[in-house]
């Protein structure tokens, strides 16, 4: 009886990793062994099974994906990537309020694989905000979104604007109200810079994460916990696919916001 293809693809790390390697292009068997760090005697039986099921083609010492293998691995790859994201930081993700991110973006959450979890120290006294925003201090273009308010947001945003950084800042309605009340002067100074714009989320039906911060080289994602509170934990990634994902997510929230013309006035459209 033939093996089920799903079992063949997923239920052996050796087969799975070999297929993922071939997804990058045809490989010499010796090179594959070196890259996978496994022995020939352990890989050859897997190659035999994959050939029998028509997932790979072998010509001499060169193996490549068949058309069927190529189709299947492209379908499996997003599942494996998403699984990797959740396995790397399983407790973090299980405790997050995930529905603040549109499902169309969650479907591509695999782009956040190999991300780094940054969290406060065990004494809970360390404030990560100041350390984290330093990642963006030398950027040419920065996109920031906050659903919570931190007193460093106004001064940091003004610092970026004065440096000539192309800055776009999105605030939740509640955060904007605090900004206007307690940091009105800083807000007006930010808006006076031609390179800076402030937006406020006006659509009450739109839920937003605690923080989305994107530059040319870094993505920070902060999510509320299941109690609706932000506990200072962030996901950090420098992968190009994650940066693209973060920029698209930011643009999504721009669509549900209004530009601030002054700290006393929000544009209608």
Strand 62-65 versus strand 56-59 pairing type:
antiparallel
Domain that holds residue 141: 90-266
Is 180 inside a domain boundary?
Answer: yes
Please give the pLDDT value at position 136.
81
- Give the CATH number for residue 22: 1.10.10.10
What pLDDT does 121 receive?
58
Whether residue 192 sits in one domain with residue 59: no
pLDDT tens by residue, the chain, 269 residues: 344 776 777 777 888 888 889 989 999 999 999 998 989 998 899 899 899 888 999 999 899 999 998 998 888 888 888 988 998 899 999 999 998 999 999 999 999 988 999 887 544 444 556 666 677 878 899 999 999 898 889 998 999 999 999 999 999 999 999 999 999 999 999 999 999 999 999 877 678 999 999 999 999 999 999 988 888 888 999 999 999 999 999 999 999 899 998 887 666 54
CA dist list (Å): 119 to 49, 116, 130, 164: 44, 10, 13, 30
Q: Which helix (H) or strand (E) holds 42?
A: helix 40-52
| Number of separate domains in the chain | 2
DSSP secondary structure string for all residues of 67-133: HHHHHHHHHHHHHHHHHHHHHHTHHHHHTB-GGGS-HHHHTTGGGGTT-EEE---TTS---HHHHHH
Q: Is the domain of 177 the same as that of 215?
A: yes
């Amino acid at each position: 009886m033939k093996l089920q293809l799903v079992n063949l693809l997923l239920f052996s790390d050796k087969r799975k990793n070999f297929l993922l390697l071939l997804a990058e292009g045809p490989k010499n068997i010796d090179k594959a062994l070196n890259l996978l760090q496994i022995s020939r005697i352990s890989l050859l039986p897997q190659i035999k099974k994959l050939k029998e099921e028509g997932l790979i083609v072998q010509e001499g010492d060169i193996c490549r994906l068949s058309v069927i293998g190529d189709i299947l691995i492209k379908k499996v790859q997003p599942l494996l990537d998403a699984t990797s994201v959740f396995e790397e930081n399983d407790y973090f993700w299980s405790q997050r309020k995930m529905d603040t991110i549109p499902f169309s973006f969650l479907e591509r959450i695999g782009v956040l694989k190999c991300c780094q979890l940054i969290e406060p120290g065990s004494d809970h006294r360390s404030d990560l905000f100041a350390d984290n925003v330093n990642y963006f201090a030398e950027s040419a273009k920065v996109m920031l979104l906050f659903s919570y308010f931190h007193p460093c947001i106004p001064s940091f945003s003004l610092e970026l604007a004065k440096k000539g950084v192309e800055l776009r800042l999105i605030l939740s309605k509640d955060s904007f109200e605090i900004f206007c009340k307690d940091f009105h002067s800083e807000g007006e100074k930010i808006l006076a810079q031609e390179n800076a714009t402030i937006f406020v989320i006006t659509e009450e039906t739109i839920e937003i994460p605690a923080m989305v911060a994107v530059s040319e080289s870094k993505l920070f994602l902060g999510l509320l916990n299941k109690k609706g509170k932000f506990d200072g934990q962030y996901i950090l990634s420098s992968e190009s696919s994650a940066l693209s994902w973060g920029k698209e997510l930011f643009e999504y929230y721009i669509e549900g916001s209004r530009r601030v013309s002054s700290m006393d006035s929000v544009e209608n459209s």
